[in-house]
Amino acid sequence: TGADDGGAPPAQRSVRVPPGVTVFDSASWNGIAIDSTCGGHGTCHKCKVRVEGPTPITRHDVKTFSREQLDNGWRLACLVQATRDLAVDVPPLTTRPKAATVGVGRQVILRPAVQKRYVELDEPTLADQRPDVDRLLAAIDDLEPAPDLHALRRLPKVLREADFKVTAVVVDEVLVDVEPGDTTDQRYAIAYDLGTTTVVATLLDLTLGTPIAVASVLNKQQPFGGDVITRISATMLDPEALPRLQRAAADTLAELASQVCGEGGVDPRQVYEVAIAGNATMTALVLGMDPEPLGVAPFVLATAQPPALLAAEVGLDLHPRAHVYFFPALGAYVGGDIVAGMLATGMDRDKRTRLMIDVGTNCEIVLSDGDRIVSTAAPAGPAFEGGAIRCGMRAADGAIETIRLDTPEGVVDLGVIGDVEPKGLCGSGLVDAVAELVKVGLLDGTGRFVPDEQAVDIAPKLADRLTKLGEERVFVLHRPWPDAGPEDCVVLSQRDVRELQFAKAAISTGWSLLLEELGLEARDVQQVLMAGSFGSYISPASAVRIGLVPKLPVLRIVSAGNVAGEGAKMALLSVRERAGAAALLEEVTYVELSDRADFNDRFVDQLGF
Ligand code: FES
């Protein structure tokens, strides 16, 4: 819950985050502001929240709170991990921040491209007949803006109606508007993560650097196909498909804009800027650019950096001069979303050797040794989204997301989204299912279910779950009623295991080649960041067990959340960070996997567990 200012009843929010993520990050990712000046590193002692139920006390908590406060559940939010359902009270912000915490512990000094200045101008006289705009520009000369026509059209009337007490609105050094009175506190922007499957929007208060509202919807391009290749193919088969895809993208962005503005109580006309982080295909489609060259070798972008344009040109009804910033792309399959992710994780700033894996249909991988950065894309296929999986489904209510097998007791412990009857298996559940079956020995190192006699020896109380559905062997994860046949159960099939093997082999081939590129061994990696809406939820232990990530201690594997969306927020909060995104284009070397002669051999080597 977050308490509002002015004695209003606290707003109640319920959010879902990967296990182990701190309360501080959970809040930040979900549009709930918590005080901080250290960026979640446990040193500023400002991120005070009250947690219900028994919560471990750290030495920093002891330094910050009285005994009574500790007994009442007060803790530092950046040191409390969400390892169970938690109820948390978040007090309102006490100070006006100069910096915001975004992404993976990144502190961003607030310097948005959108600036506002309130001025009280001298009224013109016969002795002072300076043009209106000169009068205004002289008062805001530190911003050195150039006026645009929209601002000039409004200027004479607004100045006179407001007795020459006005607020100048400057975006990217252009005077775009003049508003009556002092509106300096009303300065907003929207950050979009334009995903192939899901699109997320965050409404930001640019004055405080805090998120106000977050919303997500399925991309309205879904009817054209679930992944980028089917959408590109659609444009190749039907000349009408590109404008329709463009409209679907615009409708998705517009629906989210009205949702976050409605929820945040913000007039859309006070949203002056938008940042969009999307993969190369999503970016091409929202701009109405032909995506065909992205889908066929040699996989070429129309442009690495889309031009600046007005929000109205991507179908958004915000401030009429609101600008859109698109992240640049490194290649056809390492797009603006990953550049945004690199910004959010500070891949170019951290001296440690770090690996970022954004798991999805197309899996983007970035490796940095603190000096050089290499990246690649691996075609993981739809397994993680539940595609091509017998009981696969998206991470929605009814999806099994965690699985633990207890061999001696024969217990199959399922974590189900929404705590409802299990309906299917989402990406993280699939990884868990396979990892647990490998762990107990019911799946062998090649990914085959062991013969029935062997299963009885290994796990007598689980062996009866291994059965056949048609000709295929399956493991029953959930039986809806006692004598339900396998066709009515949620099962993991032999083919599902194969699909996962292909997906994880593509990904591990990708990172192993990047390691080789930098002359590193797997053990040199100090941190693995699991990013994206699938990657963030995968259990580190299971990811290690099946070889999706290098064999490392699980503490080195962390969930990074929606890094594309976090990067988009950073670009709106700071023009310096935006320049950092552009600089990444020079710093990162893109490694193409598909022209490696040894790709297939390596892929086959990575298939086993
Ligand atoms: Fe600074 Fe928690 S954010 S101590």
Domain boundaries, the chain: 23-95, 114-180, 188-336, 341-382+500-605, 396-482
CA distances from 360 to 259, 382, 447, 538 (A): 26, 7, 21, 12
**Residue of 25, 51, 78 with the most ligand 1 atoms within 8 Å of its CB, for mutation:** 78
Beta carbon of 210 within 6 Å of any ligand 1 atom = no
**Residue of 21, 43, 48 with the most ligand 1 atoms within 8 Å of its CB, for mutation:** 43
Instruction: Tell me, in angstroms, the distance from the centre of ligand 1 to residue 43's CA.
Output: 6
Q: Between 3.30.420.40, 3.40.190.10, 3.60.130.10, 1.10.260.40, what CATH number should domain 341-382+500-605 receive? A: 3.30.420.40
Query: 114-180 has which CATH code?
Result: 3.10.20.880
Q: How many other C-beta atoms are found inside a 10 Å radius of the C-beta of residue 2?
A: 19
**Per-residue model confidence (pLDDT) at position 106:** 84
pLDDT of residue 367 exceeding 60, the answer is yes
284 sits in which H/E element:
helix 280-286
Beta carbon of 36 within 6 Å of any ligand 1 atom = yes
Beta carbon of 559 within 6 Å of any ligand 1 atom = no
pLDDT of residue 407 exceeding 90, the answer is no
**Per-residue model confidence (pLDDT) at position 92:** 84
Q: Give me the amino acid identity at 187.
A: R
**Residue of 26, 28, 35, 47 with the most ligand 1 atoms within 8 Å of its CB, for mutation:** 47
Instruction: Tell me, in angstroms, the distance from the centre of ligand 1 to residue 60's CA.
Output: 10
CATH 3.90.1150.10 matches 23-95: no
**Per-residue model confidence (pLDDT) at position 84:** 85
C-alpha 21/C-alpha 279 separation (Å) is: 26
pLDDT-wise least confident of 119-128, 177-186, 267-276, 591-600: 591-600
Average pLDDT (392-397) is: 90
Beta carbon of 384 within 6 Å of any ligand 1 atom = no
- Place 95 in a pLDDT band, splitting at 50, 70 and 90: confident
pLDDT of residue 4 exceeding 80, the answer is no
Q: Ligand 1, closest atom to CA 47?
A: 2
Range 257-260, long-range pairs (CB < 8 A, 24+ positions): 257/190, 257/201, 257/316, 257/317, 257/318, 259/201, 259/213, 259/215, 259/217, 260/190, 260/201, 260/202, 260/203, 260/212, 260/213, 260/214, 260/215
Beta carbon of 40 within 6 Å of any ligand 1 atom = yes
For 468-494, the pLDDT digits (tens) are 999 999 999 999 999 999 999 999 999
Topology classification of domain 188-336: Nucleotidyltransferase; domain 5 (3.30.420)
Same topology between domain 114-180 and domain 341-382+500-605: no
Instruction: Tell me, in angstroms, the distance from the centre of ligand 1 to residue 3's CA.
Output: 19
For 155-176, the pLDDT digits (tens) are 999 999 999 999 999 999 999 9
SS3 assignment, position 332: coil
**Per-residue model confidence (pLDDT) at position 35:** 84
Sheet of strand 466-469, all strands in order from the earlier edge strand to the far edge = 466-469, 472-478, 490-493
Beta carbon of 76 within 6 Å of any ligand 1 atom = yes
- Place 594 in a pLDDT band, splitting at 50, 70 and 90: confident
Beta carbon of 46 within 6 Å of any ligand 1 atom = yes
Average pLDDT (323-339) is: 94
Instruction: For residue 35, give the nearest of 77, 70, 79 by alpha carbon.
Output: 77
Q: Ligand 1, closest atom to CA 44?
A: 1
Q: Which residue's CA lies nearest to atom 1 of ligand 1?
A: 44
